[in-house]
Amino acid sequence: MNSEGARLHSLVDLDDAELERQLLKAGNLYPTQSRSGRELFDANGNLPLSAEEKDEMIAAVEQKFSEIFDVMRIDRNDPNSTDTPFRLARMWINELFAGRYSAAPKITVFPNRRQVGEIVISKGIKVMSVCSHHWQPISGTCAIGYIPRDKVIGLSKFTRIVEWFSRRGQIQEELGEQIADFLVEILDPVAVGVVIDSKHYCMIARGVEAHDSSSMVTSVMRGELATNPALRTEFLQLIAQQ
């Protein structure tokens, strides 16, 4: 094993607390470029790839999944497992992590001609994501409210924005922040709020205390929703109504 390999192997042996301590002390402990010299980025980051680059990535991931099957002693002569490495690779790149590799959705912004100054809300937006810690599904809904300043967007666009940020390795807190930041950037609204309520399958599938009714709620408030408690209460009441 070369020294780089030995170093990475020793990192794997550290417990979480020690790894965090080392990380704070030393900065990046892991490479920031892939072996083929490509930029590595956060699980919930974004770097659009061409169709050819995605196909190349799927082929490489399929190869690695076949190796995992070998390590886990899964016989691919079992017809249910024969093509699973390919299905897994395609699913991770084209679906579960699609938002990492695709360009931002094109959002048309319209002038706020009627000078709407009330909170506009869209709720029940589907969230289908993956937790970065365990690569297990996160499934739930998102409510978004905003008070326009000079610009408005069609409410259906929220669905595409949530989808784009969800289809990555995420932690729910950062997912809400990313959606709010994006809306602030394209709309410059007076206020924006993003509330996500979801189930984490790493909680449901693991551990003795796990049960499928546990859910996680996070909220991000920007602008007047962050500073005006009465407005925040109104928003939270409106999204709680059926």
Using the structure block, give the residue that is written with the tokens 């919930």: 44
Smallest distance, Å, CB 131 to Zn ion? 3
d(CA 190, CA 198): 27
The neighbouring-strand residues paired with 138 are 129, 200
Residues contacting residue 209 through CB under 8 Å, at least 6 positions apart: none
Smallest distance, Å, CB 139 to Zn ion? 12
Smallest distance, Å, CB 198 to Zn ion? 11
Structure tokens at 74: 């899964």
Residue nearest to Zn ion (CB): 202
Nearer to Zn ion (CB atom), residue 134 or residue 149: 134
Structure tokens at 30: 């892991």
Smallest distance, Å, CB 141 to Zn ion? 18
Q: Rule CB under 5 A: which residues touch Zn ion? A: 131, 133-134, 202
Structure tokens at 37: 């010299």
Smallest distance, Å, CB 111 to Zn ion? 42
Smallest distance, Å, CB 132 to Zn ion? 7
Q: Which stretches of the chain are assigned E, i.e. beta strand?
A: 110-111, 120-131, 137-147, 151-152, 169-170, 191-200, 216-223
Q: How many CB atoms lie within 10 A of CB 201?
A: 18
Nearer to Zn ion (CB atom), residue 49 or residue 202: 202
Nearer to Zn ion (CB atom), residue 200 or residue 222: 200
- Helix/strand/coil percent split, the chain, to 5: 45, 20, 35
Residues comprising the chain, all counted: 242
Nearer to Zn ion (CB atom), residue 122 or residue 178: 178
Tell me if 222 sits within 8 A of 190, measured CB to CB. Answer: no
Smallest distance, Å, CB 13 to Zn ion? 22
Nearer to Zn ion (CB atom), residue 21 or residue 133: 133
Q: Which long-range contacts (CB under 8 A, 24 or more apart) does 82-87 make?
A: 86/58, 86/62
Q: In what order do the strands lie in the sheet with 191-200?
A: 169-170, 120-131, 137-147, 191-200, 216-223
Nearer to Zn ion (CB atom), residue 130 or residue 147: 130
Nearer to Zn ion (CB atom), residue 97 or residue 182: 97
